[in-house]
Structure 1
């Protein structure tokens, strides 16, 4: 009787382990992959050229302001208070314009950021698409990107429990399930 119980236990364990499927996880180094792509290098060069041009333009505007200050200082003794105040206001207006332009170009969601996104995103998308193809061929459930922050760039959708969590929290209707 004791051998029968052990036999049943072994059969039960074997059946359990057959149902448990080990998840395969992998990673890539997207920075390394990107560095090998000619189109990424071209995009980087174009971004550098634009950045340098915008920086030179802003630097030129600042030099103009410095020149205005120097001119004002040289003529200061000859100017009335009203003329001096008028010139100072003009210089301050120019400074504000330069700051606004710099923010427009290099600020959050500025022209530089948008151009970089426009040029780099398609190349990154190619890398991520290739990673997904490799993940499917190699039957990987999760692929991480080890460059920079450790982020998942591909997951097998059968392991996505987002809808169930939303449902559990009462934030989704049964009708909304599986629409993603």
Structure 2
């Protein structure tokens, strides 16, 4: 919602000053898909993720077997042994959830690996867009790949300080 309002706001000001301002539209998804280094980074990332998923699947299978064994033996176990096995199962399940969160959770290992492998390619695209925008005199460069997003805006057009001044904020 914020993105839509921001784009509408930006387009309103772009339309108001359309005589003096120039803009361009790009599709970063299309650009990235055409870059061999992005495809290589994505392939490497997929391989790493598949290895981690295989490790998690193996541990899940072992945990499932432990549960089946416990259910089969539960009747014959004493109260202390039953409690001990339940605690073991609980700890193994917690370890598995923690591993999943560590590998695939928000800002987990996969996120960090993606930053390591894909971000340099994205930065390369951003730098090329910025260079192109400066050379050709574009005031705005919008990205249409995932909704409209402003990729580059000429800093002299940023009136944030004027708004702060109007609000009396220093």
**Could you state the TM-score of these two structures normalised by the residue count of structure 2?**
0.85
Structure 1 segments of 4+ aligned residues over 6 angstroms from their partners = none
Q: Look up the SS of the partner of 1:66 in the other structure.
A: helix
**2: CA distance between counterparts of 1:88 and 1:32?**
52
Q: Which has the larger radius of gyration?
A: 1
Structure 1: 5+ residue stretches without partners: 1-19, 173-180
Deviations along 1:33-89, one digit per CA (max 9) or x if unpaired, are 111111101110111011111111111111111111121122223211210121011
Q: Which residue of 2 aligns with 1:67?
A: 65
Aligned residue number for residue 24 of structure 1? 22
Number of matched residues?
153
Q: How many angstroms apart in 1 are the aligned matches of 2:118 and 2:101? A: 21
Q: Which of 1 and 2 has higher RCO (CA within 8 Å, sep 6+)?
A: 2
Is residue 2:87 matched to residue 1:108?
A: no
Q: What is the SS of the residue equivalent to 1:147?
A: coil
- 1:139 and 2:170 matched: no
Of 75, 89, 96 in structure 2, the residue corresponding to residue 91 of structure 1 is 89
The 3-state SS of whatever aligns with 2:20 is coil
State TM-score, norm by structure 1. Answer: 0.81
Distance 1:167 1:112 in 2: 43
1:112-123 matched pairs, under 5 angstroms: 112-123=110-121
**Residue 54 of structure 1 is aligned with which of 52, 57, 81?**
52
Aligned counterparts of 1:74 and 1:54: Cα–Cα separation in 2: 31
Q: Specify every segment of 5 or more residues in structure 2 that has no aligned partner in the other structure, as ranges.
A: 1-17
Q: Residue 168 of structure 2 aligns to a residue in which SS?
A: coil
The CA RMSD measured in Å over matched residues stands at 1.4
